[in-house]
Amino acid sequence: MFWCAFVVFFLALGNELHLSHATEVSVNNTENKLCLYANLMVNFSVTYEVGVNKSETVLFVLPENVTTEGSICNNTTSTLKLGFGDGHSWAVEFTKDNKTYQVDSIVFTYNLKDSSVFTNSTSNETKSVTAKPRITNVGVDTYYSCKSENVQRVESVTQTLYDVTLQAFVTNGSKSDTDTVCTADLTSTTVAPTTTVTTTAAPTSTPTPTLPTPTTGNYSIAPDFNSTACLMATFGLRIGFKQGDKVETINLVPSATEVGGACGVNSSILILTSDTINIMFTFSNDSKKFHLHALNVTVKPATGVAVVAANTNMSIWVAAVGSSYMCNKEQTLTVTETLTLYTFKLRVQPFGVEKGEFATAEDCGDDTKGSWIVPIAFGVALAVLIFIVLIAYFIGRKRNQGSSYEHF
């Protein structure tokens, strides 16, 4: 059966998105009725060979300019296939029974011959990897919704899906208003060290508990097990987030946190995952300076629903490539209106790490601000003192001149 399709794209979370594109795709049949719908973000990390025992890792996203050629809608099986670039594609395979449907596999195909993506690749192969995501038991005539990150690692490829909306086997030619929410977004039963602060002005006799200063964690990424670090970071991290009319805070516990990510030439990613916090830092490099470009955060508190926040238009933690960025004082970083990050004793170097050690640090403004207070205060006091001495001198001189005139 011949199927035709149309694709609508949009960008979310700001005008400049480097590693987080939101892509909305609608596939129609020959009767011009919707049969497949997707609205999601996908980041790719691919490690490939550039020489003998040498490799590079490239980071890129599912782009705007995709095609839906090869997408198929049948009664019990469907395929959403998105083609992009020079021979790359991303395909989702669905199957359905009487009451539910599921994703059987995600097949990512990439062409190493595409030099615009895989610079200096020694291979011209087209490779495919198949991931088995846990997207099951989605009710027929509902859409699958998952704001949390879904990381799929197969061989040398890491795919990160988030803010996902998928619906296959659309029954009435329009997307459903009912969702099947993924497990990661549901209420977590894990007990976490949180404190709640009521935002209303009502008095309370119970003092609000205060979290201790977060433990400083040391995090690093290496290209492989036999290599030294290519990304290094150390900091304590606290997250503040809104739950209804309340603001809660939670600390990241380094000993209960898994570290992931990848190092690239122009972009590097650090992913920290615990039972209650998933956070992805994306750093960019313009060959002279690096900076934190994007943050994706998911918090699963002890009570309430998961909180997901993303900001992909940032330019903070700036330092010269070949150096590290450091800020010992507490920093407050507003990610969105509902989520704020607090860092303590921060030091990070996402590019140019040598011998597994931090390079010379460039201090943040907060650290250098205090060092200027004493010199400025001393300078002002000295200027005032000189002014007073000059006035006293001129007054004394005038009096002496008057006294000499009368004596003469």
Going by pLDDT thresholds of 50, 70 and 90, the confidence category of residue 126 is: very high
> Which CATH architecture group holds 194-363?
Beta Barrel (2.40)
Q: For residue 150, is pLDDT > 90?
A: no
Q: For residue 198, is pLDDT > 50?
A: no
pLDDT for position 169: 95
* Among candidate residues 52, 37, 43, the one with its CA nearest the CA of residue 7: 37
pLDDT for position 163: 85
- C-alpha span between 220 and 207 (Å, rounded): 39
- C-alpha span between 44 and 61 (Å, rounded): 6
Answer with the residue of higher pLDDT: 60 or 22.
60
Average pLDDT over residues 53-58: 80
Q: For residue 199, is pLDDT > 50?
A: no
The CATH 2.40.160.110 portion of the chain extends over 6-185, 194-363
Q: What is the CATH number of domain 6-185?
A: 2.40.160.110
pLDDT for position 21: 54
Handedness of CA 132, 161, 56, 259 (dihedral sign): negative
Model confidence, pTM: 0.57
Q: For residue 123, is pLDDT > 90?
A: yes
Q: For residue 201, is pLDDT > 50?
A: no
pLDDT for position 189: 35
pLDDT tens sequence across 289-345: 999 988 888 888 877 778 888 887 889 999 999 999 999 999 999 998 889 999 999
Average pLDDT over residues 165-176: 93
Q: Which CA distances in Å does 283 have to 7, 294, 295, 307, 369?
A: 30, 7, 9, 23, 25
Percentage of the chain surpassing pLDDT 70?
80
Cβ-based neighbours of 88, under 8 Å, separated by 6 or more = 109, 110, 111, 114, 117
Q: For residue 202, is pLDDT > 70?
A: no
pLDDT tens sequence across 7-37: 332 223 333 333 445 788 999 988 889 999 9
Average pLDDT over residues 128-157: 91
CB half-sphere exposure, 270, CA atoms < 13 A: 21
Q: For residue 233, is pLDDT > 90?
A: yes
Residue 32, exposed/middle/buried by CB under 10 A (0-12, 13-18, 19+)? exposed
272 is written with which tokens? Answer: 């920290």
Residues 177 and 145: beta-carbon distance below 8 Å: no
On average, the pLDDT of the chain sits at 81
